[in-house]
Amino acid sequence: MNLLKNYLTVINEAIAESDLYAIDTLYRNLKERIGTSNRIFFVGNGGSASVATHAVTDLSKLNLDENRLVAISLNDNVPLLTATANDYGYENIYTEIIKNYEPTSKDLLIAISSSGNSSNVLNIVEFCNNINMETFALIGFDGGKLKKLAKNSIHIKTKKDYYGPVEDSHMIIFHLFVHIIKNDISELKDV
């Protein structure tokens, strides 16, 4: 039990010391897309890919007056990922896959990376920036290159290799949004 409390303390301290100013912007962008055909694309590697998949699952089920979000995880189709990596290189997988969707400036990209230095994530953010798409980075550690590349960054500041606290914090951001929209946690009302 003490280890769990210590771990939660690490997460609380990381969140308290983090750059979270873009969360309101993220939430506004998500809410504005409810009931529209504008898509929200997610990418990540490893544990961040799992966060992306989980966030897409939760956001896709969200229902506000019969209006929904169109959320897509680009890291979920393993055969497509491996075929694309084989043909275009691992560093280009997400950039090549998103092209299948013919993204526009009305869509949104959320790139999740603890280190902020994964080449495939950096490349898709640069691609999306070039078509004037709104880009968000959820990052950890020192923020890496992604912190400056994305138009908006939510940076959970932690020690290097503190993957668990970073990934847990990133997931909390999406869980909180869902609970705000659903208005189903009494402690969040009147906030």
Question: Residue 148: phi, psi to the nearest 5?
Answer: -90, -25
- What does the pLDDT average to over 24-32? 96
Q: What is the pTM of this model?
A: 0.96
Residue type, 109: L
Residue type, 48: S
CATH top-level class for 2-183? alpha beta
Q: What is the pLDDT of residues 110-138, one digit of tens each?
A: 999 999 999 999 999 999 999 999 999 99
| Residues whose CB falls within 8 Å of the CB of residue 2, separated by 6 or more in sequence, listed in order | none
| Residues whose CB falls within 8 Å of the CB of residue 68, separated by 6 or more in sequence, listed in order | 34, 35, 60, 62
Token pair 């590697």 is found at 45
Record the tokens describing residue 101, joined without a space.
Answer: 């969707």
Confidence of residue 19 (pLDDT cuts 50, 70, 90): confident
Confidence of residue 42 (pLDDT cuts 50, 70, 90): very high
pLDDT at position 157: 95
Where do the structural domains in the chain lie, given as residue ranges? 2-183
